[in-house]
Chains A and B, each alone.
Chain A
Amino acid sequence: MAEEILREVNGLISGITNRHVDEWKASGKPVVGYFCHYVPREVIMAAGALPLRLRGAGSEDSSSGDAYLSSRLCTFARHVMSLAIDGHYDFLDGEVSSNSCDHVRRSADVFRKKTGIAFHGFLSIPRNPRESLYAYYLEELRKLMAGLEEHFGVKVGPDELREAIRQINANRDRLRTINEMRAEDKPKITGAEALSIHIASQVMPPAAFIDLADRLIEALKERPGLDTSRGRLVMVGAELDEPEYIEAIESQGALVVGDLLCFGGRSVLAPLDENAADPLDEIGRSYFFSASCARMIGDFPKRWEELNELYAKVRGDGVVFERIIFCDPWGADLHNIMHRIDKENTFPLLSLTREYNIVPTGQVKTRVQAFLEKIEIAKAQKAAAGGQR
């Protein structure tokens, strides 16, 4: 039963659109793509549009993106922009970019100049999540909202925002439940499957997702727990919307029982107040001050703390860091994580640099095998030392 629902999930995320998006469009409602998790879905939803996380799924090559962005940018951006330039994203009624990183920022230029998409929103997101900079972010949200209102001819008031908060909260509730099941001693779901359902939550209407997630949760309750004796891993890093990547890691016997990935756990914010007097402020604060990405300067200590909290909560045996090649912000976090581990000897770390849309084969699997062996040896040594005592 769970397997059947998970197949359905995989079908929904295997490309950049799916039947739910098609149905939404067919009903005459707009779809707005967005790049970064600092772009609040609630604002787009409140304007009557479906927020659709931009992805490169199904892209067979990045040559159109390469022509504009060069081969020196991250392959995620290049695949997304290839699809956009080649017209595959023409079904979008708008897109919202940001200065999240140089890659997204330059993609925004290409979106504006090389696609026929009618609405282009932009958020300049301050690079440090401190109170004095929050007002700027909130103003950016107001401008985005005004742009959406003007373009789509709608009026967004507090009630629309509260309704959007309610729907997205309900989505995140389900994801939290799934993440709890994932952290059990015998998890009910693999890391790859969990990532799939997180991705689905960002590419379909919330109501349809709730139905899907509820069915999945019920089915998972009946599923036998999975063995984690070869290692419970936590993943952290940048954009990863390819469950196949985690699948390759897990194929070596370990399970990814928690993550702080952009498409995964980091997108699951704490519940927002559905009755907030100023719902836009509630949305802004929630996004700006939580779910820290490596693009936030000076916020590494918080990210480190969150990683350690998650590691303890899911009783991790090791951490896998992943980064798409050419990503500077996550490059800094890799250094800082290594530096902290060196000082504090907190957990075993495996760092993987990857390209988007390339299924990991022998090399990654070999490294994961070696990492798991290292974990097992350390565990055995610890147990032996305990026995001697």
Chain B
Amino acid sequence: MNRQDIINKREWRELFEALPVVQGFFGGDPDSHGINELLRNIGVYMEELLAHADDGKPFVWYNLGFNSELIWALEDVHPITIELLGALHSTICNSQNALDFIDGAQAVGIPADCCSADKLAIGAIHKGLYPKPACSVGINTPCDAQVLSTQVMAELSGAPFFAIDVPYYHEEDTILHVAGQLKELIPFLEENTGRKMDYDRLREACNLSNQMAENLWEWLDWRKQVPLTQSSKLVGFTLLMQILFTGSQKGVDVTEGWLREARERTQRDERFFEERVRAIWYQDAVWTDLQIYDWFERELGLTVPVDIFGFYANEGVIDTSTPDTMIYGLARKLVNCHPMARQFRGDIDFYVKDFMQMVDAFNADCCIFAGHIACKHAWGGIGLFKEACRKADIPLLVFEFDMFDPRITSYEDVYFEVERFVNEIVVPRKLRA
């Protein structure tokens, strides 16, 4: 599959055509460095992908719980996350294509009750939209849905497959267990891509990954400011950036844009609306229409300083002194930092603990549990999570929706739920206090 083959596919072509339009739309605000850098680098990523395909160089597929530093460190190997097309269509272009992927996946046997994020991936693979991989890597985090998508990825790609197991526990042994598997992964990647691991390149990738992480941590610090001076909708992109860009210059560029915007807007003390309520959006973002966050801000005075996709835990940077320390650092990142993988692979206590820390750190007034309908690990903890919120006296809104499929719960219904919660529960409560 070369450049022309890719562009000839409608789903890619529409993406290439839409990107400049969306860039033009957001470019209208020259201070919007965050979203502008994100869009610019998505463009760079896609162009690199085309060039790579043209040169006939190898690709490696992986799923959303994995990070790509090790793949970048192999010379001339390009990583492709299988959720790529669906996620991009949902967020910047044409959600109809995302719905086609979902319906397509269901038509070939993926049950309707499974996660739409995986259906996006499987639908796109079934349509033959990704260049064939030399091999693929599947990781079991954060949830059973990834077990589904990786099994299907392995079956459909027909390429050699490597599975990474992340255990249940939050302990040092878990990191060492994952690090051991990353060491196994290296010869697997070398053998199947025909490229040698270059540890200098890995060091470079880890340094870029560290810079990106440090930018994210500082950016999250700016988001703790009251009132929030940046857009709520940016926050969910942390996960997307981790799976697309970590270990590359693109990740650094995007996060520097975010950081610059946060710093400048905060220093200028910009206010586009009156902040009345701050919520921890402790689940999945409304990817089908991120403009809903603008509406929340403007109409309700509701801001979302952080959500579960956006929270990037500060567990320290990767020590780049030796190959072993780098691999350990990458394992720690996958286990302890990667959004959702951190909170969802173990017991509910860790999930609750992270939430309570976010409430404190980000000065939140309430929690919005936007329950992605097929997110079993999250829904499976809802009873204990409700009890924890009640005990801590934190107002909690729980509703069902699908983060990629507006046919499940409409934009209007999501807005209605949030509006009622803010106006009838949280604001009166704050006034009483």
Residues of A within 8 A of B (CB): 67-70, 72-73, 77, 99, 101-103, 105-110, 112-113, 122, 124, 126-128, 130, 132-133, 136, 294-295, 297-298, 300, 323, 325-329, 331-340, 351, 353
Interface residues of B in 368-421 (CB under 8 A from A): 371, 373-377, 379-384, 400
| A332–B167 touching, CB < 8 Å | no
A-side contacts of B325, CB under 8 Å: none
Q: Are A295 and B380 in contact (CB under 8 A)?
A: no
Contacts of A130 in B (CB 8 A): 163
Across the interface, A298 reaches (CB within 8 A) one of B145, B154, B371, namely: B154
Give the Cβ gap from A332 to chain B, nearest Cβ, in Å: 4
Contact A298 B380 (CB under 8 A): no
For B42, list chain A residues within 8 Å (CB).
Answer: none
The yes or no answer to B272 lying at the interface (CB within 8 A) is no
Taking a contact as CB atoms under 8 Å apart, the answer to whether B150 and A297 are in contact is yes
Which chain A residue lies CB-closest to B169? Answer: A124
Residues in A whose Cβ lies below 8 Å from that of B145 = 328
A335 touching B109 in the complex, CB below 8 Å, given contacts A124-B167, A328-B115: yes
Interface size on B, as a range, is 35 or more
Contacts of B167 in A (CB 8 A): 99, 124, 126, 136
Can you sample 30 A-B contacts with CB below 8 Å? A67-B383, A68-B384, A70-B382, A72-B373, A72-B374, A99-B345, A102-B144, A102-B377, A102-B380, A105-B168, A105-B377, A105-B380, A107-B380, A109-B349, A110-B384, A113-B384, A122-B168, A127-B140, A133-B165, A295-B144, A295-B147, A298-B150, A300-B154, A328-B118, A329-B147, A333-B151, A335-B108, A336-B151, A337-B109, A353-B111
Report whether A136 and B177 are in contact in the complex, using a CB–CB cutoff of 8 Å: yes
Scan residues 174-195 of chain B and give those whose CB is less than 8 A from a CB of chain A. Answer: 177, 180-181, 184
- In the bound assembly, the distance between CA atoms of A141 and B317 in angstroms comes to 34
Q: Is the CB of A335 within 8 A of B373?
A: no
Tell me whether B109 and A294 are in contact (CB under 8 A): no
Question: Is the beta-carbon distance between A297 and B383 smaller than 8 angstroms?
Answer: no
Partner of A69, one of B111, B140, B165, B383: B383
Q: How far is the CB of A72 from chain B (nearest CB, A)?
A: 4
Q: How far is the CA of A265 from the CA of B148 in the complex (A)?
A: 23
Q: A105 CB to closest chain B CB, in angstroms?
A: 7
Known A-B contacts A298-B138, A331-B148; the reply to A73 vs B155 at CB < 8 A is: no
Q: How far is the CA of A339 from the CA of B189 in the complex (A)?
A: 26
Kindly identify which residue among B152, B184, B347, B348 contacts A335, using a CB–CB cutoff of 8 Å: B152
Q: A107-B380, A300-B155 are in contact. List 7 more A-B contacts (CB 8 A).
A: A72-B373, A72-B376, A103-B376, A109-B347, A124-B167, A126-B165, A298-B163
Q: Are B165 and A70 in contact, with the CB atoms below 8 A? A: no
By the criterion CB–CB under 8 Å, are B377 and A338 in contact? no
Q: A325 to B383, alpha carbons, bound, how many Å?
A: 20
Cβ of A232 to closest chain B Cβ, rounded Å? 24
Q: Measured between alpha carbons, how far is A351 from B110 in the docked complex, in Å?
A: 12
Chain A neighbourhood of B290, CB < 8 A: none
Selected from A128, A328, A351, the residue in CB contact (under 8 A) with B114 is: A328
- Whether B138 contacts A332 by the Cβ 8 Å rule is no
Q: Is the CB of A298 within 8 A of B379?
A: no
Q: Would A297 and B138 be within 8 Å (CB), given that A72-B373, A127-B165, A334-B109 are in contact?
A: yes
